[in-house]
Structure 1
Amino acid sequence: MYPLETRELAVEAVAAGFSLTEAAELAGCSRTAVVNWAKAAGVAPPPRKKAVYLPFDRKMELVARLEAGERAADLAAEAGVTAAAVSGWRRRLREEGALSLMTDSDIAARAPEPREAPSELEELRARCEELELRNAVLEGTIDILKKDPGADLSALTAAERAALADRLRGRFGLRAALAALSLPRSTFYDRLAAASAPDPYAALRPLVRAAFEASGGAYGYRRVRAELARGAGAPQRARGAAGLDPARPVAVSEKVVRRIMAEEGLRARAPRAARYSSYAGEEGRAAAPNLLLVDAGRDLHDFSAAAPGEVLVTDITEFRLPDDPRKVYLSPAVDLFDGDVAAFSVGTSPSKALVAEMLAGAVAAAGGGFTLHSDRGWHYRTPDWVRACGEAGVERSMSRKGHSPDNAACEGFFGRLKVEFFHGRDWRGVSAERFAAELAEWIRWYREGRLKAFDEGGRKVYDTIAGRRRRLGLAA
């Protein structure tokens, strides 16, 4: 709230004929406050000054005198305009030429007298020049888009059109080039100015690339931004920074990170390919109910757990290597509390021993007494498996026949694993043993280094699985 003295001084200034801006400066308050106070006091503000439009010759005269050393404020007072207008005319004359200072009537007054109708030879020359311009525009479009002939001009951005117009202006003239590219003159100069301006995020780009590459190409723009926001100390402002400390958090929006990743060609890998199936029929095997199915009619499941080691899901997935005839199989136990890999086993055969090793690791990690959900693969219906689960106090749960969504939580882990670790990498020359070692290292990173989005109290928090458990006091 402003003091009463300020209000009275502002109203008196308006009543004395000062403009609203002058009254605001005099009283040390905002212009909006002066308007409201004057209105409440019944004091009418001074009438707005009428806009002054100077002819082209007068503008050119003022600009010439400004170039000769006279002050913009003095010239503006003489002409009845603002100093900013005079300075703006000089800038536009330098950047856009004399046409930028002309009104439509100025241009019409200076238009040359109509000439005689062009001869047939002149028409032919004009037509040839038009065709040459169209061909040059098409070639430039293909060069920018890196496509075969037939590239569409509409695919070019305004910045790309401005760059192409700049290339063609010397040969065909700026007006013809802009017309052929359907680009307004103002947009052309605006895009050129933006292209020549220094990159405000030059210091941020290497940090974005480093965060993306450290994830093995798995992170999209949201997790890259979350990775940049980690660290100790006060956050650093990214825009306009001369340098950024990788150890300190960086304050930047997801929109900026997404744009930088697009410009740098950093794209997270996309899912593909089907998984290995261990299903081998029903007869002679011990089944179990689906304990995660909440409502069969609506196909609703509960893929959650209230505490670590309460509900786990498992399955087997297969990897094929280009230069090793053996396949590699992974059998994990994924904790539904937070997606942690409680235990896993890797081998070159989808055997009973593979799942037995995984089960022993899960019991050691969770202490037994948990629910373990699987599909209807033959491994999970053998007498050995049923006996081992019973001895450890593990309650068995199974998907319905031919219904893979019943084990969607484990399928989701496999999809993430294939996208972030397996697909898009060159595995030539890699043996099954080396692959198993790299797979184990990725799972360690997945638990301890990979950022994951958690919903905590209605807000999204990025943290690692191991880090969050330590933060919540669930692990040492």
Structure 2
Amino acid sequence: MYSREEKTEIVEAFLASGLTAAEAGRRPGWPSRRLLAEWVDQARRGEIAVALAEPAGHVGDRKRHERHSDETKARAVALYERGRRPAEIARLLGIDCRANVRAWWKKARESGKLAGDAFAPKPIAREGGKGARMAKKQANGGSADPQALEAALLENQLLRAVLDDLKEGSSNLDSISNRKKAELGERLRRDGGPSLREITAFLRISKSSYEYHRARLDAPDALAGARALLRGLFRESGGRYGYRRMNALLRAKGVRISEKVVRRIMRQEGLVVRYEPKRPKWSSYAGENGQAPPNLVARNFRAALPGNLWLTDITQFNLPSFRCYLSPVIDCFDGKVVSWRASERPDAALVNGMLDDAVAALRAGERPVVHSDRGAHYRWPGWIERCEAAGLVRSMSKKGCSPDNSACEGFFGRLKNEFFYHRSWEGVGMPEFVEELGAYIDWYNDSRIKESLGWMSPNAFRRSLGLAA
């Protein structure tokens, strides 16, 4: 496509222009950068006769740059960190290739060192330290450039302030919020530090965002009252409520803020609900023992009225010196614990006594369905006789299928998370444990609010419907 004369003319013009091959390749009528580089190589070997010799230090497309000193690299990186553009740095320092600045800066960032110290033989230390004294000595009589020294000291000052802020919980500069960046910048400016332009460039925040957050630094905390109220309500709940229930309590107190704000305040105040990680649960299943009744619930744990559908099961508490077994009856109408018994042995007396207490609480005409798993406790003659005498309808889950009784399992999970886990039970005997367990169940029925009940407790919900005094 190109004659020998055209090749000679283009190579001579390229060598005289001082352009890079990439820049020359974008000129109309000129070949691509790869082809132009081949022509330059041919000219060096004498295969293409050119009238002009290649200027000294010309890099062509091979990017054979002259090596820059560590001092020049440190100065370039320092200026780049201060917000200078690579083209401007190239003009100031006489660097022939602007792309080098970004490469040096990237290497400095990856090394984890200060921008100005990534290539310099000696880092700039704290003000008044040995490194600072050496830098000042070089600035007064040595070879260090005063402008580079000023940039390095500025970066050192900024970095010390950033590191102080990182110790408070952030992991890197990018993770610091704009508000914290504004706080940091104002602290530096009050101390007679760098200019606003230098601070915003180093912290990578726009001037408009900086000014927005700076204007609000001294403003009073509009959520101070909500914070204090949240702390008090969280302590009253025993640390059991998450942000949804806490927000419901705030609304009941007349404080209306969004759930997102409540969640943020709780995170800032350290109001965390602790939960025990899931682990295998104890099962009372003892195999088939006679004909099992059908599953009448089919995982529909809703009831239109109290006394229509009951759930029951047994859960185990492992304490340092003994084990405690709890057997409750849960009403699916509102989740209320109708009755419960606790014992050191999961025997027939435990479940039979619990059922007798529940039957005694029934009102006239109530004949609930009693749903359980296939444990042997609910297939013994004593249990069956009591159900038939009270007119209760028996229902059982599928063999080995805990989701068929998931509502009762869910109550056990909440009970253990809110009452049992994350507490030391050393030195607590069976009577004391049962007393505390009973206090929690009373609190659960009387005071623990539920979203499904309109943020009311089971007893309060029944009173609101006129179903309880």
Partner Cα distance (1:424, 1:188) in 2: 43
Partner Cα distance (2:413, 2:93) in 1: 74
The answer as to 2:332 corresponding to 1:345 is no
Structure-2 residue corresponding to 1:335: 331
Q: 1:370 to 1:163 in 2, by over 3 A?
A: same
Q: CA deviation at 1:467?
A: 1.2
| Aligned mate of 2:466, from 465, 470, 473 | 473
The answer as to 2:262 corresponding to 1:257 is yes
Q: CA deviation at 1:427?
A: 3.2
Partner Cα distance (1:381, 1:345) in 2: 18
Structure-2 residue corresponding to 1:284: 289
Structure-2 residue corresponding to 1:154: 174
- Residue identity matched to 2:264: R
2:328–2:339 CA contact under 8 A, matched in 1: yes
Alignment of 1:391-410 (within 5 A): 391-410=389-408
Q: 1:336 to 1:319 in 2, by over 3 A?
A: same
Partner Cα distance (2:147, 2:240) in 1: 59
Deviations 1:356-398 (CA, angstroms, capped at 9, x unpaired): 1211111111256221111122212222222222222221111
2:305–2:333 CA contact under 8 A, matched in 1: yes
2:342–2:434 CA contact under 8 A, matched in 1: yes
Partner Cα distance (2:188, 2:384) in 1: 77
Q: Please, what TM-score do these two structures have when normalized by structure 2?
A: 0.64
Point out 4+ residue stretches in structure 1 off by more than 6 angstroms: 114-119
**Identity %, equivalent residues:** 41
Q: 1:274 to 1:387 in 2, by over 3 A?
A: farther
- Residue identity matched to 1:265: G
User: Unaligned regions of 5+ residues in structure 2, if any?
Assistant: 1-90, 95-138
Deviations 1:80-133 (CA, angstroms, capped at 9, x unpaired): xxxxxxxxxxxxxxxxxxxxxxxxxxxxxxxxxx98979753465256336525
Task: Give me the CA root mean square deviation.
Answer: 2.7
1:286–1:382 CA contact under 8 A, matched in 2: no
The answer as to 2:458 corresponding to 1:451 is no
SS for the counterpart of 2:321 is strand
The answer as to 2:231 corresponding to 1:209 is yes
| Aligned mate of 2:218, from 196, 220, 238 | 196
SS for the counterpart of 1:350 is coil
Q: 1:283 to 1:451 in 2, by over 3 A?
A: closer
Structure-2 residue corresponding to 1:436: 434
Q: 1:177 to 1:431 in 2, by over 3 A?
A: farther
- Residue identity matched to 2:254: P
| Aligned mate of 2:355, from 359, 368, 371 | 359
Partner Cα distance (1:276, 1:185) in 2: 57
Partner Cα distance (1:181, 1:115) in 2: 23
Which has the larger Rg?
Answer: 2
Q: 1:350 to 1:276 in 2, by over 3 A?
A: farther
Partner Cα distance (1:225, 1:265) in 2: 16
Alignment of 1:134-283 (within 5 A): 135-136=159-160, 139-145=163-169, 151-169=171-189, 170=191, 171-230=193-252, 249-270=254-275, 272-274=277-279, 276-283=281-288
Q: CA deviation at 1:134?
A: 6.5
Partner Cα distance (2:428, 2:330) in 1: 27
- Residue identity matched to 1:363: V
User: Unaligned regions of 5+ residues in structure 1, if any?
Assistant: 1-113, 231-247, 294-300, 456-460
Alignment of 1:43-54 (within 5 A): none
Deviations 1:218-250 (CA, angstroms, capped at 9, x unpaired): 2222222222333xxxxxxxxxxxxxxxxx633
Q: 1:168 to 1:320 in 2, by over 3 A?
A: farther
The answer as to 2:350 corresponding to 1:326 is no
Structure-2 residue corresponding to 1:81: none
Partner Cα distance (1:353, 1:201) in 2: 54
Which range moved further: 119-128 or 190-199? 119-128
SS for the counterpart of 1:446 is helix
Q: CA deviation at 1:174?
A: 3.6
Alignment of 1:83-102 (within 5 A): none
Q: CA deviation at 1:188?
A: 2.2
- Residue identity matched to 1:471: S
- Residue identity matched to 2:181: R
- Residue identity matched to 1:159: R
Deviations 1:61-84 (CA, angstroms, capped at 9, x unpaired): xxxxxxxxxxxxxxxxxxxxxxxx
- Residue identity matched to 1:125: L
Partner Cα distance (2:257, 2:288) in 1: 58
- Residue identity matched to 1:466: N
Q: 1:285 to 1:213 in 2, by over 3 A?
A: farther
Q: 1:285 to 1:325 in 2, by over 3 A?
A: farther
Q: 1:452 to 1:374 in 2, by over 3 A?
A: same
Q: Please, what TM-score do these two structures have when normalized by structure 1?
A: 0.63
